[in-house]
Amino acid sequence: MASIGPPQSLKRSDTSLTREGDQLIITPLGAGNEVGRPGVYMSYEGKTILFDCGIHPAYSGMAALPYFDEIDPSTIDVLLVTLFHLDHAASLPYFLEKTTFKGQVFMTHATKAIYKLLLSDYVKASKVSVEDMMYDEQDILRSMDKIESGHVLGAAMFMVDIAGVRVLYTGDYSREEDRHLRAAEIPQFSPDICIIESTYGVQLHQPRNVREKRFTDVIHSTISQGGCVLIPAFALGCAQELLLILDEYWSNHPELHNIPIYYASPLAKRCMAVYQTYINSMNERIHNQFANSNAFDFKHISPLKSIENFNDVGPSVVMASPNGLHGGLSRQLFEMWCSDKKNACVIPGYVVEGTLAKTIINEPKEVTLMNGLTAPLNMEVHYISFSAHADFAQTSTFLKELMPPNIILVHGEANEMGRLKQKLIT
């Protein structure tokens, strides 16, 4: 965690955080100097809040949890979950069912709908001993009854006001509109404290049209030489954005119509049903298209439930979860294809330290398989980020518009976070 306090001239004159005897405490239980397992604990004026309740994707079982033993869960009044990704919500059943927490839990309607699907799949795919399991299907079902959903859809930022002090927690956000989602809005009120993600630090995203062209060029080139393309991605979120790009590209290139594209996830059909339910929360492009046709009723993409249903003959494109290649369908396909130089793997978003996806970005000569043996890494590896995280340009502009007197950086690797802090204060 890094905190920044701008010069006094930037501070609002109507609020003071340092009344005598008062102390606002913010403690990251995860994501303080890492990307993964966010759980940001905050207490002030007798009120205690926990923002997000995730896991670390590079770890399994109890080791993936935030450091809950640093706090007393029974003292927390409200738990606010910003989005459905596992690294923001997957320790929630544990926290609700296995600790002394008795407070309220809030997330949006769409997050609650998807939360159940993703966590049920996570439990089924987990390869840990019974003793090391955080929770089971019954814990997930019981947790659903304790979650209250708000009136907005999708991912959310939270602005919390305690005794006149406003705190904004951004969660993961992007100020760039993409093919289906609106850009994150600027809050109506400026906060006294902004707790903001620093995932990409001082990095800048390439323009969207450049990324899309790189993405489709790599795929077209690979299948033209008889290879297969693996795209490891979250089952929801980035996947839908990339499927929209691929379906449009295939429609514009008749020569590709005999090349199959698969959306490989046990959740594929159910996830798409959720997306179709929440069309109204998406951007004008999707609204306009929906007047004539369903944008998510893909013409050139088929669901693939398991590896047993896959006929691995000839070129193909497969989008599979998880994004970190740490198990599941994406890992199985990677191990099948990694040694053939005709094939390619496109990493389409941020991947955390400790995962295989992070490792292969540096293109090692060989990789360790799930059975412990090694195999040569001959396939091409391309990192083309469509991650819905703010880059430096978005972060700095967002903060200039809000002008918060105090900034706390979370959800970033220590080096990136440090570089961002230095750039923001100079």
Supply the residues annotated as catalytic. Answer: 389
List Cβ neighbours of 211 (8 Å cut-off, separation of 6 or more). Answer: 205, 384, 385, 386
Instruction: Give the sheet arrangement for strand 406-410, strand by strand.
Output: 2-4, 406-410, 193-197, 165-169, 158-162
3-state DSSP helix/strand/coil % of the chain, to nearest 5: 35, 20, 45
Please give the full DSSP string across 129-183, using - where no structure is assigned.
-GGG----HHHHHHHHTTEEE-SS-SS--EEEEETTEEEEE--S--SS--SS-PP
What span, in angstroms and rounded, lies between the C-alpha atoms of 168 and 379?
43
**Buried/exposed 269-303: b ≥16 CB within 10 Å, e otherwise:** ebbbebbeeeeebbeebbeebeeeeebbebebbeb
Instruction: Give the sheet arrangement for strand 316-320, strand by strand.
Output: 301-304, 261-264, 316-320, 228-232, 344-347, 380-383
Helix axes 238-251, 208-224, angle to 10 degrees: 60
CA 416 to chain centre: 18
What span, in angstroms and rounded, lies between the C-alpha atoms of 258 and 319?
17
Give the phi and the psi of residue 279 in degrees, each rounded to 5: -55, -40
* Distance linking the first and last C-alpha atoms of the chain: 18
Give the phi and the psi of residue 257 in degrees, each rounded to 5: -65, -20
Other beta carbons within 10 Å of 309 = 10
Give the phi and the psi of residue 20 in degrees, each rounded to 5: -60, 130
Q: Write the CA distances from 150 to 22, 81, 206, 259, integer angstroms.
A: 30, 11, 34, 42
Q: Burial of 334 by CB count in 10 Å (0-12 exposed, 13-18 middle, 19+ buried)?
A: buried
Residue with tokens 């001082």: 202
Q: Burial of 200 by CB count in 10 Å (0-12 exposed, 13-18 middle, 19+ buried)?
A: buried
Strand pairing category for 104-107 and 366-368: unpaired
